Structure 1
């Protein structure tokens, strides 16, 4: 198949790319475009050129298979200069998405025509880099500094209508008539001179726009290197001639592309795609049609799970044991949807459509026709087994039965049913209607079709799914436990909660473990007996310190819920430690890091040893999307690779006496460290 073809529409040369699935700008595409532009230049009968794409999208970016390899000529910057230098108007006809190099190509064209449903963007910042083919120099010259900052530093695409408002798109075409309207537009501008070359325009910036943008986005940009580099490149577009601005762009991207941050962000980009592939699962595994879903439990988790399906048009029957709990759950779903309308994420009509698909019930009989039933009840094995025994009788043959357990043995839950091959774990993260991660837990008897269906469904409800094996806590919570245990032990040995949290915040986590505990509420699972004080949490609860909601937990809180270190909490912790005979001492940040983070890497290595995760990068995906691990550190296993596995092993050996009697080093971690290997 020839990827780039041309056809004549009278005096207009139409250049067509057909490089499925996303018309990526690989070498064959670049070479074909260059030859077509040269042919247009050499033919006096050609008055204008239209560049368009077959399939579902305009050029959606670089060819990711070329990442990290030497690029063949013509490289994209050189190609774009040839397009822009042509002395005949070139029109980009945009549908689908024009992203990254795709939008840079459109910017090098003299005009842009797009259908209203098209999206245009420069998302390179999400890979820890910046647009490297003139995007940081051309876009501000077309739309101004303010809009360019939003698009390049924010990285989110904009719709074609918005693009037309800011001057990025010259004309909107009918959805079903793009090719013809682009050709007509090319004829219209064929004789207009001078040609509107983006490199020749003056980029404009309102006074103070850069300072205002930095201030507004400081929290979002904290810790990331690429956003500041993007700002510097856009500033160069304002301050310098085009050629000098390009030099700044190239210098900045050359530095970013070899940085640990960009390697980490690109690692997550590929890891997310790899996670969708299940080892040993044939590509042609038949899927089970899921046209209706049941959810057992209308609490925060059950309601959030239901919303995922309602929002894509799948009817949901939600079951509770009591009417009051059912009404409360439906009310929370309605409130969440109302907030979506308020924030502009959904329209009133979309919410009405979703809510109309919700059927609340108190009877298991109403789950009889569901193709998939997800249990989201209290995290207790006896309760879950009772639910599954009833569900097994109520659900139709062939229905998938899923548990949303965070820790418990999926095989034990499946054992009370007559269909263990139809049982698996679907561990959503709270709030389930927002968080992107889904741990899909494959039981010993889970069938291939059931697993494949769960993975396909995850994509439909816009989740990033990772397959986990059955073990206590699966991937994420299993690794969370040693971290939490060590954090709790450290404050008994003399570290302040604020010291531990600061190390996490400096590392790039959105919250430290004690901030998080206060936010969730220290009384979750508390037995309510103030005389029983077996843990620090119980001691704090006994003193009425339940977290943010009570004005005090590990921290003190003001009326705006701003935290300050608490002398009261520190006294309670010191008294508890004294009662246990634990002496207090000064603890370094390095010790906090080694005991909290290195132990996580060690547990991750054990998960790999036992085959409970398919690959190290799956563990990284779980931690980035489920637990707030900073994406610019690439997940715990990639981070360990970057700092060196020997560093991790040496740190764990240094702390071994303090890590408790249950701690043991992972043989896989030790072996890889000794051989100088990495996990990824």
Structure 2
């Protein structure tokens, strides 16, 4: 049974037990309505305490019902039954009360919680708004501003903060059920407050000007996101319109958004992220505990990896080649943590503890007892091989050896490693302590335990892990290389860098490809192209090669694809770059470029390359590609990722557009995988 009823004197205890997160399945919804009817008919019941078994209160809707036709009873019916019950209900919250879970709690006359519980309405993160009265009830407890913040931002708040704003009535440090029963026994002897929906909006009303200020403060810059603005409008209606009208508007908005492309895209990302740390191929495989980790290399990447490990509570041994380099690495870590303290992100005590958990060494013997060591040195095959030869000699045979290479072949790096089954590629993205993506790259000899442990480590680091096969650039950088090449092809055919960048920003990217190169430095891609040429591969970057030869490496040299005033980041159209483009493209036919043509000429070849990556088995699933693009390269989340966006558009149309551009030499022909998907409609 999902719903159980017990008694404690005159108080009935209704317990929801629907593992793992007590989601609001159809059975739970039906059971709650039945409980209301049963207890209302029992004259010996004075009040009802709603509790949940397991590790959390009701954490929201049942994700297994997402995308399926809704089944009665619907959540608004459940909430109406609880709110209109003859006996007052109180919600006892532990863990998380999110989305529909909080809406159920709002239907109760009272709410109490453990101090570490969190409450929120995160529907906006799925392209939705609360659909069962959350927007209407919240302002009646916490006021217009706080309700707007909770609904539009979708971020949960802790129980003590919820108590401060009036969302809960009491907070307990422990023994939730007994404390809640004692508290409820006392309050039901006093005059009962009105049901939440019958109360006035808490606090002062907001003027039109104040609502505009709230909108400016809360709404995202990207106005193409639909849910945040609609969520704010729902809260505004709840504060200004009659209750029935506000409820109807909220429900209508919820239903209209539920079937939208953005909601489908965000649901796709939600499920992909949910399963990222537990791919089916490692199910049931034992993992090793990582308590002490080594990092070889104290540069920007190595220091970032060390901080990512420390943020997860893993002690670190940082190794550098000499005392001076080691001190720079330790100082880099310390400075970054102190900066976080100044910005209010962590406390001084937390920073001190994390810094203290990093020990520096200049000899490989200092890594003899680590459970895992991650190499983060210069991208040179022989240099990396030398590192692992040393590590093989000193590390325990059960210690995992990982390379952070972004382009080199991990199997080639592992050549000569003792016990190669413990070797793996862990490609962090910079800054490693912030960026969420982690590409996990096993070799043919990597054991399943090493692979599974790497995914477990990613979960501990709160990263989004994606398994990648071995090829130049793995998944993300291989697709990035296509983007950069296509951007240059469009330049040679008549577009300008600013046109290309503006088009990609319009598509939803945080910055265009040329702006991004100037920010990171053109020399990074130049080094990668050099390595590719040495492997006998063809590269296409005629303009970028010229700019590098001229010493135009981006913002750090006051000139790259754009010009920059010293110390400034504002991009200025460059006559020098225009002249280089003109000379390189003298024999290339020019055309007038529309924004959509630029987008298609850059994005659709990326889709084709991603399809090739799937065709070759470099990526296991299309969702993995989408996670790489979102978490590693700033692809707009609301599009659902590169391949989800192609599916939403229609892969048949993608194929036709590629053929159109391929006919004039601007893009490759669609690959076999893409042609097959055009027939089925899904990757």
TM-score band (shorter)?
over 0.9
CA distance in 2, matches of 1:298, 1:562: 27
Deviations 1:295-333 (A, max 9, x none): 111111111111121122211111112322221221111
Taking structure 1 as the reference length, what is the TM-score of the superposition? 0.94
Contact kept, 8 Å, 1:279 with 1:614, in 2: the verdict is no
Could you say if the C-alpha distance between residues 439 and 631 of structure 1 is closer, same or farther in structure 2, counting changes exceeding 3 Å?
same
Give the CA deviation at 1:82. 1.0
Is 1:211 aligned to residue 218 of structure 2? no
Contact kept, 8 Å, 1:24 with 1:59, in 2: the verdict is yes
Is 1:668 aligned to residue 668 of structure 2? no
Could you say if the C-alpha distance between residues 633 and 64 of structure 1 is closer, same or farther in structure 2, counting changes exceeding 3 Å?
same
Q: Which residue of 2 aligns with 1:315?
A: 315
Which residue of 609, 614, 618 maps to 2:620?
A: 614
Could you say if the C-alpha distance between residues 502 and 3 of structure 1 is closer, same or farther in structure 2, counting changes exceeding 3 Å?
same
Is 1:459 aligned to residue 465 of structure 2? no
Q: Which residue of 2 aligns with 1:49?
A: 48
Q: Secondary structure at the match of 2:417?
A: coil
CA distance in 2, matches of 1:576, 1:359: 54
Q: Which residue of 2 aligns with 1:259?
A: 260
Post-superposition, which runs of at least 4 consecutive aligned residues in structure 1 deviate over 6 A? Answer: none
Q: Secondary structure at the match of 1:146?
A: helix
Q: Secondary structure at the match of 1:107?
A: helix
Q: Secondary structure at the match of 1:563?
A: coil
Which residue of 573, 578, 585 maps to 1:571?
A: 578
CA distance in 2, matches of 1:544, 1:410: 31
Worse-superposed segment, 417-426 or 451-460: 417-426
Q: Which residue of 1 aligns with 2:647?
A: 641
CA distance in 2, matches of 1:73, 1:525: 56
Q: Which residue of 1 aligns with 2:155?
A: 156
Worse-superposed segment, 396-405 or 33-42: 33-42
Taking structure 2 as the reference length, what is the TM-score of the superposition? 0.94
Worse-superposed segment, 143-152 or 343-352: 343-352
Q: Which residue of 2 aligns with 1:178?
A: 176
Deviations 1:168-217 (A, max 9, x none): 0111112x221112112212221444533111122254333321132224
CA distance in 2, matches of 1:286, 1:469: 22
Contact kept, 8 Å, 1:18 with 1:54, in 2: the verdict is yes
Q: Which residue of 2 aligns with 1:145?
A: 144
Worse-superposed segment, 212-221 or 614-623: 212-221
Contact kept, 8 Å, 1:577 with 1:583, in 2: the verdict is no
Q: Secondary structure at the match of 1:222?
A: coil
Q: Which residue of 2 aligns with 1:187?
A: 185
Give the CA deviation at 1:26. 1.0
Contact kept, 8 Å, 1:87 with 1:195, in 2: the verdict is no
Q: 5+ unaligned residues in a row in structure 1: which ranges? A: 528-532
Q: Which residue of 1 aligns with 2:682?
A: 678
CA distance in 2, matches of 1:287, 1:525: 36
Q: Which residue of 2 aligns with 1:226?
A: 227
Where does 1:360-379 land on structure 2 (aligned, <5 Å)? 360-379=360-379
Is 1:602 aligned to residue 608 of structure 2? yes
Could you say if the C-alpha distance between residues 234 and 574 of structure 1 is closer, same or farther in structure 2, counting changes exceeding 3 Å?
same
Q: 5+ unaligned residues in a row in structure 2: which ranges? A: 528-539
Q: Which residue of 1 aligns with 2:403?
A: 403
CA distance in 2, matches of 1:659, 1:289: 52
Is 1:197 aligned to residue 195 of structure 2? yes
Deviations 1:451-490 (A, max 9, x none): 0000011101111111111111111111111111111222
Contact kept, 8 Å, 2:404 with 2:425, in 1: the verdict is yes
Q: Which residue of 1 aligns with 2:532?
A: none
Deviations 1:578-636 (A, max 9, x none): 5x644544323233222210011101111111111111111111111111110111111
Worse-superposed segment, 120-129 or 358-367: 358-367
Contact kept, 8 Å, 1:341 with 1:347, in 2: the verdict is yes
Give the CA deviation at 1:54. 1.7
Give the CA deviation at 1:83. 0.8
Q: Which residue of 1 aligns with 2:288?
A: 288
Q: Secondary structure at the match of 1:294?
A: strand
Give the CA deviation at 1:541. 4.9
Could you say if the C-alpha distance between residues 279 and 33 of structure 1 is closer, same or farther in structure 2, counting changes exceeding 3 Å?
closer
CA distance in 2, matches of 1:206, 1:590: 41
CA distance in 2, matches of 1:83, 1:360: 59
Give the CA deviation at 1:70. 2.7
